[in-house]
Amino acid sequence: MNFTEDQPEVVVVRTGSANIASVAAALTRLGTVPHVTEDPKVVLAAPVVVLPGVGAFGAAVTHLRNRGLDEVIRERVRCDRPLLAICLGMQLLCESSEEHPGVAGLGIVPAHVGRFGRDQRVPQMGWNRSLPAATCVLLRPDWMYFAHSFRIETIKGEWNVATTEYGGTFVSAFERGALLACQFHPELSGSGGLALIGRWLSLAIGRKVVPC
């Protein structure tokens, strides 16, 4: 996958302290031009948006809300405009998290984020297999790199999910239309991760921008 011919721009949402250099480097390797912003107008209008994130759930939700980015991201998903959410970015789409009880997530996905069990080393740090359901279009079975202490156990409703084992099964990614959300870091998952971002970009960039 390579977009070097026309070098489309990919908007990357600044989610506070998130480290975005690796995301930007992966997008550059795929022949796109990453543009980092926290301007809600830009995020709403952009054809293709990545929502990365590391750090704490509560602080990240507050950051998005203070800038009006929560509404804009909800709007994008409602209109099926392309969005790739990574790690904490994926958790932010949920209703709530055990990391900060009482703080509402964006509520886009009917799911709760919980802590790993007591017997597991936390964070889960390293490579694990992500196995997608047959209904997935973008996700394929592959090794992916994880670095997280919280996870989603199940999602209610019609979502195409991939699962992973770590002291029980958890949701390692899900997709629907132009939304792809990953608990793992595709930007740090070598050639398999880069290929996944590439498949999402092909779908996203090929798509007509629907007015919301």
Partner 1 sequence: MLTRRIIPCLDVRDGRVVKGVRFQGLRDAGDPSELAARYEAEGADEITLLDISATPQERATATDTVARVRRVLGIPLTVGGGVRKVADVARLLDAGADKVGLNTAAVLRPELLSECAEQFGSQCVVVAIDAARSSADSFRWEVRVRSGAELTPINAIEWAKRAEAMGAGEVLLTSWDRDGTRNGYDLPLTGAVASAVRIPVIASGGAAKPEDLLAAFEAGADAVLAASIFHNREFTVADIKKFLSTNGVEVRI
Distance, CA of 58 to CA of 63 (rounded, Å): 9
Residue 169 binds partner 1 (CB under 8 A)? no
Q: Which of 9, 63, 187, 212 is catalytic?
A: 187
Contacts (CB under 8 A) with partner 1, residues 52-91: 54-56, 88
Residues in the chain, total? 212
- Binding segment for partner 1 (CB under 8 A), chosen from 14-22, 75-83, 104-112, 201-209, is 14-22
Q: Which of 63, 99, 182, 185 is catalytic?
A: 185
Residue among 121, 153, 209, 212 that touches partner 1 (CB under 8 A): 121
110 beta partners: none
Active site residue 187: yes
Residue 96 binds partner 1 (CB under 8 A)? no
Work out how close the CB of 166 gets to partner 1 at its nearest, in angstroms, rounded to a whole number.
6
Alpha helices in the chain (DSSP H): 21-29, 40-45, 57-66, 69-78, 88-92, 190-205
Residue among 47, 58, 68, 143 that touches partner 1 (CB under 8 A): 143
Distance, CA of 172 to CA of 181 (rounded, Å): 9
Residue among 193, 198, 200, 201 that touches partner 1 (CB under 8 A): 193
- Binding segment for partner 1 (CB under 8 A), chosen from 23-31, 33-41, 61-69, 74-82, is 23-31
DSSP notation for 146-164: EEESEEE----SS-EEEEE
Active site residue 71: no
Distance, CA of 164 to CA of 149 (rounded, Å): 14
Residue among 67, 148, 151, 176 that touches partner 1 (CB under 8 A): 148
Residue 26 binds partner 1 (CB under 8 A)? yes
Active site residue 87: yes
4 beta partners: none
Residue 128 binds partner 1 (CB under 8 A)? yes
Look at the block and give the residue holding tokens 């290929």. 195
Residue among 35, 155, 190, 199 that touches partner 1 (CB under 8 A): 190
DSSP notation for 34-74: EEEE--HHHHHH-SSEEE---S-HHHHHHHHHHTTHHHHHH
Q: How many distinct helices (H) and strands (E) make up the chain?
A: 6, 12
Residues that bind partner 1 (CB under 8 A): 17, 19, 21-22, 25-26, 28-29, 54-56, 88, 121-129, 143, 145-149, 165-166, 185, 187-191, 193-194
Catalytic residues: 87, 185, 187
